[in-house]
Structure 1
Amino acid sequence: MTLAPADMIQDMIAIARDAGKAIMEIYQRDFEVMTKDDKSPLTEADLASHHTIIDRLKAGHPDIPVLSEESKAIPYEERMAWTRYFLIDPLDGTKEFVKRNGEFTVNIALIENGRPVAGAVYAPVPDVSWYAAEGFGAWKATADDEPVAIAAARLESLENLRVVGSRSHPSPAMQAVLDELPDHELLPMGSSIKLCAVADGSADFYPRLGPTCEWDTGAAQCVVEQAGGCVITLQGDSVSYNKEDILNPFFLVIASVDDDLRGRLGALAARHANEQR
């Protein structure tokens, strides 16, 4: 029997939290930092989280394939036949983990036909979870408190936007966009917490005008969309998944907004992204 996304999300967030426990065991002691082929950092915590998630998903959902940042590369010729799969980032924000600033997450998404239909994001240091699924809504849980339903803020103008930006990956194009916005507040953050901040109403706008991969965004995109916001390309299309190139296009995360404001933000970001290229 094929389970609906809403019937799978509780298991997904439980697995994310268990992966977070494996990460914290390493975070609280000395650890070695390795370098991957793309020069990005890798720690034993990334691998411990990866194995925890993979083992649990294969045990509970053996018929659903898994794509992980730390998996051996899976050829597109194999992936292109997938209509349903798990997409995971075992430790999003490894640079933040190494800096020990607590701004890193575990991300598990369920992708169906190129769309994230369930997503679990867990930040182990503050012990906060954001999770969502079609037919289930979007939720946030802090430590042992009862989960609360979340909704993106409603934007009526571009005044006083709360803008989130990458703490470790700033870009000239991002700064150019900020320079053209009216009065705003910049909130630097790491990992997929940035998208979740838009989802839970604590931020309004996140322009990502730098490189990311599909596993960086899948889970949090579901949370944003189920909370009433959007994650769109600079052309206004929803960010999609299981492409031949797992790199995402530049994208915008925007709270609940009408078409006019969404279009104005898209045009602004596109102009400066083109200048950067």
Structure 2
Amino acid sequence: MSGHAILVDGKPSGPLVFDMNSPTITRGDGCFEVMRVYGGVAFECDAHLDRLGRSAAMMDLQAPPRADLDSWVKQVAAYGPEGLIRVILGRGAEPGAEKCVVTWHPVPARPDTMTLFPLIAPWHSAGRPWDLAGGKTLSYAPNMAATRHAVKEGFDEALLVSDDRTVLEGPVFSVAWVHEGVWETPSLDLLILDSITRRVVLELVSDSDVPMREGRFSLDRLLEAEEVMVIGTTREVTPVVAVGEQKYQWGPVTKRLREAFVRRVRQSIDEA
């Protein structure tokens, strides 16, 4: 390995990088990005850093110059050919004392298939505008509680739904399914996260012969689907074999999208 596992404002650092009294630590007042490293290349780096900039602007945080961020990500990506890069922009203990941390860590082990437990998410805006709608903030505690709830029920992860049972997203991933041959996914007007991996998969579906639809869909519609999949940085395109008591097969559309995603990754490495 070369490069550095952790850079703080561009300088090598140990693991303790934030003042313990900073709002980043005490209140989760910051934003972040996570990107996958394939072959030493940060996948969709530009899109991730664009979103970091939007999140920072929502939170009145001063992001480092883009050229610096690009350089720091490349340096940390060189630490290991396969892994994850996390970029954290946190508020300092004093106004204007933002700190940017770029760190590498291994990809956690993930199952080949997933099971989801539907949960109402009263903290989710579900389309109601608010100041941080669409931002990728550090305040993930409600989502992590949903994951723990699902695991206690015997499932791998939670599926977040609104009070009226509209399908939203997972705690750390997007969701899609195939209903009567049409690939469907919740639309961004629900103020779900504008997932970078979701964008890539939307492009892959658009380039295929599979019809697609974004919109607002009930949980009942998902439960009637032929295939269900989760989409995200660490999970890529992973088939879902159960949502609650409803069982699913690993279907042909999911398989095609997984294969197309692998080709897209290889292309990005070749073009780097």
Calculate the TM-score normalised by the size of structure 1. Answer: 0.31
